[in-house]
Amino acid sequence: MALALTAQLPQETRNFGSLIIPICPLPPNSVRITIQPFTVHKRFALTISRGTTAQTTNVWVRVEQDGIEGWGEASPFSTGDRPQTTEGLVAALEHLTPLLQPFSPLDRQVIHSEILLDAGIPSAAEAALDMALWDWVGKRAGLPLWQLWGFDLGRIPPTSATIGISSPEAGRERVRNWLQVAEVDVFKVKLGSPSGLESDRALFEAVQDEAMLDGRTPNFMVDANGGWTVQEALQMADWLADRGVLYLEQPLPRGQEHDLKQLHDRSPLPIFVDESCWTSFDLPTLADRVSGINIKLMKCRGLTEALRMLHTARALGLDTMVGCYSDSSLANTAAAHLSPLLEHVDLDSHLNLVDDPFHGATLRSGRLLPNSLPGLGVERADS
């Protein structure tokens, strides 16, 4: 289903199946919010320890005032115990639209403290709205966000290309597929297979062997998505360290943060967390048991909190990376504006889409670089 809606005070109603949306004329200079779900399909389905994804229906959010339109994206996701569905994201954004009408996109502090803080909406819905507000501000200023923030694009690290859980031969084929579409300097290999550690080892060896053919020397990182026990993680950390892996991401399931300390103390590899870390409030309790964190806009509620997490992590001595779910170029371009502050980047989901409706940041020499257009710098792919 695709719909475009603007929610106002009820005067007339429009029925979209089971969804009834109030419609009425907007007062002058009111914020107009449009919500439009769109479905994207992966060129290659991605399998992690929790399952396989071949397509998702994300939500495009547009905030318009004074002839300027800011864009954001909400992507459904799950970390195992906190699923955020497309339907839930649309409903949350629909709830917010009348509350936001009296404000300007410049009223960021008021919007966050008086509306979003107590709204209890899914994090991805707030991320889309926060993205759109920043895009609006950048367009109002006539500057791309990276320049508005004073960042240096020359500091952007290469983005990794993800290899999902599969057979060794399928892993080799996926490496070849990636090398056909991009210059890849870093591969991220998903492990934590339900088939056990032998399957994990076989896949990694096949991927590394294929990726290093013809004199190539890419780097490798491993993400288990919480698929291992402490003992399995220790075994694999030793084994992977011997094969030059940079770091190990989310080896233990979310909820086992108390076990990260012994793993961190004994592992020869740096330990990063993803599902175990959502916002800056999580960082103080993790600082003594991990080496780094994976920031995702959909988890942390947008660019505003992502910036807060980056500064907090730096104060605590933690390394940082930015990741994605099944995001299009819209959300990944937004995240790319943060990447000059990061040690690692994992923004490849849009590169695996056959029908990405947007284009923005471009891949150059393995690095995802925002452009010089104002705001996020994202346009429709058919424009």
Question: CA nearest 228: which of 275, 186, 277?
Answer: 275
Q: How far is CA 129 from CA 35, 96, 123, in A?
A: 10, 10, 10
* pTM of the complete model beyond 0.85: yes
Could you give the dihedral angle defined by the CA atoms of residues 139, 141, 146 and 149, in that order, rounded to the nearest 10 degrees?
-140
Question: CA nearest 295: which of 249, 264, 350?
Answer: 249
Q: Supply the pLDDT for residue 18.
A: 36
Joined together, the tokens standing for residue 226 give: 């919480």
Q: What is the pLDDT of residues 128-142, one digit of tens each?
A: 999 999 999 999 999
Residues of the chain with pLDDT under 50: 1-26
Joined together, the tokens standing for residue 114 give: 């008086």
Q: Supply the pLDDT for residue 17.
A: 36
